Each structure stands twice: as structure tokens, then as C-alpha cells.
A = this chain, B = another copy of it.
Amino acid sequence: MIALLLGSHGKFAKEALESAKMIVGEQENTTSFSLEENMDLKMTIDSAQDAFNTLNTSEGVLLLTDIMGGTPTNVSTVIHKKNPNTRLLAGFNLPILVEALLNRSMELDELVDYLKEQFPGTLSDVS
């Protein structure tokens, strides 16, 4: 099952995951990182990498971030480039997150294509 790492300014990503779980039930192999006001770039990269390290990456990792051009997306680009079998999409909303969670048995590239098809124009594919 594909792992999911969400990243955002503040706790948007963390709470998006909590909200999605209210809809689709408890989810394993998902986590998030937050860019807080007091964090510099190095701290944010470390935080994202620490979150990444908790995941079972054997089936690949989908990175979902809040907004194109923002620091959480840029930091996720670093994680993506360092780790094969990861994909990065920026600009998720709750329908996309729910759909991603429900289709984690797909191949990673298949899931990315599926999300881009189901939600045309919403996601920026950074990978």
C-alpha cells in the first residue's frame, strides 16, 4: 500500500489527514510535517525527512503539499529527489486526499495519473 506524506504551512496537512480519517476511517502508513513560524529551512527539511523515515516506503510514497511555490513544497522536492519511488503533487484538497487514501493499492504512477484525471487543473505535478 502506497505511503502518504503530507506537508504544509502550519497544521493544515496534519488536520487534513485527521479530517479525512473522519470520512474514510483510521489509516496506516500516513504522516505529515508542518512548517511553523519559528522553523528555518534546515529544520523544515529535517522535520520532513523524520516524518518520511517513519513510513513503510516499499510500495512508494505519495507526497501531497499545500501550495505550489511554498516552502513545504520546496522541501518535499528535496525529499522527492533524494528518494526513488516517490511522487509529489501540490495543491491538494480534501476530496483529493480522500480519493488518494481510498486508492493506495494502485501502483504509485497509476495513482498519480488517476488523481490528475479525476481532479484536472487542481494539482501541480512537481515530480
Q: Is A120's beta carbon under 8 Å from chain B?
A: yes
Q: Judging by beta carbons under 8 Å apart, are B121 and A94 in contact?
A: no
- Bound: A68/B94 CA distance, A: 10
Q: What residue in chain B is nearest A118 (Cβ atoms)?
A: B121
Proximity string of chain A (62-77) to chain B, C-beta cutoff 8 Å, 1 when within and 0 when not: 0000111010000000
- Bound: A23/B94 CA distance, A: 20
Q: Is A18's beta carbon under 8 Å from chain B?
A: yes
- Counted per complex, copies of this chain come to 2
Q: Judging by beta carbons under 8 Å apart, are B8 and A94 in contact?
A: yes
Q: Judging by beta carbons under 8 Å apart, are A18 and B10 in contact?
A: yes
- Residues of the B chain whose Cβ atoms lie less than 8 Å from the Cβ of A92: 93
Q: Judging by beta carbons under 8 Å apart, are B11 and A11 in contact?
A: yes
Q: Judging by beta carbons under 8 Å apart, are B23 and A15 in contact?
A: no
Q: Which of A18, A96, A122 has the most CB of B within 10 A?
A: A122
From B9, B70, B96, B121, A120 is in contact (CB under 8 Å) with: B121
Instruction: Tell me the smallest distance from the CB of A21 to a CB of chain B, in Å.
Output: 8
- Bound: A67/B97 CA distance, A: 10
- Residues of the B chain whose Cβ atoms lie less than 8 Å from the Cβ of A14: 15
Q: Is A19's beta carbon under 8 Å from chain B?
A: yes
From B22, B67, B68, B122, A37 is in contact (CB under 8 Å) with: B22
